[in-house]
Amino acid sequence: MTRVAIAGFLHETNTFAPTPTDYDAFGEVAAFPGFVRGEKILENPRFPVATGGFIAAARERGYTLFPIVWCFAEPSGHVTENAFERLTAEIVNAIATNGPFDAVHLDLHGAMVTRRFSDAEAEVLRRVRAVIGPDTPLVASLDLHGNIGTEMVKEASALVAYRTYPHIDMRETGVRACALLDRLLTTRQPFARAHRALSFLMPAHRQSTLTEPCRSIYSELEALERADPAIASLSFLPGFPLADIPMCAPTVLAYADNQDAADRAADRLTAFISAQEEAFVPHLLPADDAVALALASRSKRPVLLADVQDNAGAGGTADTMGVIEALLRANVPDAIVGIVNDPEAAAAAHRAGAGATLTLALGGKLVAGHAPLRASFVVEKLADGAFSLTGPMLGGFTANLGKVAQLRLNGVRIVVASRRVQCNDQAYFRHAGLEPSEHRIVVVKSTNHYRADFQPIADQIIEVAAPSVYDVNPANLPFLHLREGIRLHGKGPTFQRRP
């Protein structure tokens, strides 16, 4: 009987974001289930994350699973030491108390940072490794936004990352992790490893796998992996550039039966990616230019404006008003905007009731230097409670944004919610009574995940640079701790540490 302990602890830490991520943030998530513990982890067969895929694959192999905890917090500032220590201890103590195990699978992100640990997942792996010993297979699934340093590669037997952004292969990644774990258990030989860090950062909005160059990069990755049976796994992680830590960089990871095969595959993929550096230059339009371009469209299908810098999924506050103000300045006849995070405004709309006209200060409250939009809005529709997501990425999850209101100001309809969430599923608009395909301009607060569900209905997509808590162009961020000499985007300026 093969006994495998499984746990999930995921956070993408934007070290520039103002709000720390405390323990409760892992339990109050708008679009993920919050804390799931013990046998409950095994109860949802469609759990659309790496752990779900791992469970399905492990059952096919007849493994006995020991589920500990699975949790995720919306991307935000540093994870508090209290949250990190409590959750890491929960995982490590459960493994120590209930072992020995034949193997361990962890569902991690790869970009978690605390004030004490700039590479927090390396610390999780180190503590698990200390309990299970050097020879027990320890495999982790990762988000492709992980910033992977040498410590993680050293502590884990294998690391395997998503291959899609929008992330529609989270479950498949868990299946791949299980195959790697199986290979380790069968051969009883550790993998040879190769780890390469690229020489430039990749702005998040240039990382989509639905567009070039990442579409071709992942095709090349799969071709290289297929070409040599000695290769067990090849991963490419474009990384999370909003992290002021030395290991912040895109990386390539190769695991193989021999060192030559691992090095060869890693070097070939790294060279292929490096040759596309030109494509990782940030190109964004200011909000007024983007709105003018959208108004020039003659299509019956919506023009999508992606407010890429106010993405809750990268630690944004989702309450900036820049794009909305540009829509109002241009007096657009028909636009919808989602999802503005403003619990006070949502509650005020619920008190006023549907049909009321309400004067309020909307958004602009969470970022220093921003101001709310003060105006009279018509409360068009109210909603509350749980509803199902339907898009390719998170379909199957239940979301709950708390109190929700659709507010209208002239031709602009704004979905306001009590919880911060990235607009990556059309269900968020439908919950507030809006059908996105019926509107001329659709504004989504999202860097890239929106593409999975919204790209099919859009005539064109325009990426907008409105002021936010962070800048999607890494060259504009106040970095202090990056690796010396790394370029801040494709063909960008070089980072130099201050003396």
In whole angstroms, the minimum distance from the beta carbon of 145 to Zn ion comes to 4
Instruction: Compute how many other C-beta atoms are within 10 angstroms of the C-beta atom of residue 272.
Output: 18
If the CB atoms of residues 47 and 66 are measured against Zn ion, the closer one turns out to be: 47
Residues 130-149 that bind Zn ion (CB under 5 A): 143, 145
If the CB atoms of residues 50 and 92 are measured against Zn ion, the closer one turns out to be: 50
In whole angstroms, the minimum distance from the beta carbon of 11 to Zn ion comes to 11
Looking at the DSSP bridge assignments, the partners of residue 21 are: 79
Helix (H) or strand (E) holding 36: strand 36-37
If the CB atoms of residues 159 and 328 are measured against Zn ion, the closer one turns out to be: 159
If the CB atoms of residues 75 and 364 are measured against Zn ion, the closer one turns out to be: 75
In whole angstroms, the minimum distance from the beta carbon of 371 to Zn ion comes to 31
If the CB atoms of residues 145 and 171 are measured against Zn ion, the closer one turns out to be: 145
* Distance, CA of 112 to CA of 277 (rounded, Å): 26
Instruction: Write out the two tokens for 16.
Output: 């520039």
If the CB atoms of residues 5 and 148 are measured against Zn ion, the closer one turns out to be: 148
Residues 250-309 that bind Zn ion (CB under 5 A): none
Q: In what order do the strands lie in the sheet with 138-142?
A: 36-37, 64-72, 3-10, 103-108, 138-142, 158-161
In this structure, are residues 139 and 181 in contact, taking their beta carbons and an 8 Å threshold? yes
If the CB atoms of residues 208 and 418 are measured against Zn ion, the closer one turns out to be: 208
Using rule CB under 5 A, residue 206 touches Zn ion? no
If the CB atoms of residues 119 and 143 are measured against Zn ion, the closer one turns out to be: 143
In whole angstroms, the minimum distance from the beta carbon of 241 to Zn ion comes to 12
In whole angstroms, the minimum distance from the beta carbon of 157 to Zn ion comes to 23
* Distance, CA of 231 to CA of 258 (rounded, Å): 8
Residue nearest to Zn ion (CB): 145
* Distance, CA of 424 to CA of 452 (rounded, Å): 8
DSSP per-residue letters across 102-151: SEEEEEE-SB--BSS-TTHHHHHHHHHHHHH-TTS-EEEEE-TT----HH
In this structure, are residues 254 and 193 in contact, taking their beta carbons and an 8 Å threshold? yes
In whole angstroms, the minimum distance from the beta carbon of 489 to Zn ion comes to 18
* Distance, CA of 464 to CA of 472 (rounded, Å): 10
If the CB atoms of residues 207 and 341 are measured against Zn ion, the closer one turns out to be: 207
In Å, the largest CA–CA distance within the chain is 70
- 10: helix, strand or coil: strand
Number of residues that bind Zn ion (CB under 5 A): 2
In whole angstroms, the minimum distance from the beta carbon of 167 to Zn ion comes to 6
In whole angstroms, the minimum distance from the beta carbon of 391 to Zn ion comes to 15
In whole angstroms, the minimum distance from the beta carbon of 450 to Zn ion comes to 13
Residues 27-46 that bind Zn ion (CB under 5 A): none
For 221-259, give one letter per residue: b (16+ CB within 10 A) or e: beebbeeeeebbbbbbbbbbbbbbbbbbbbbbbbbbbee
Residues 421-460 that bind Zn ion (CB under 5 A): none
Binding site for Zn ion (CB under 5 A): 143, 145
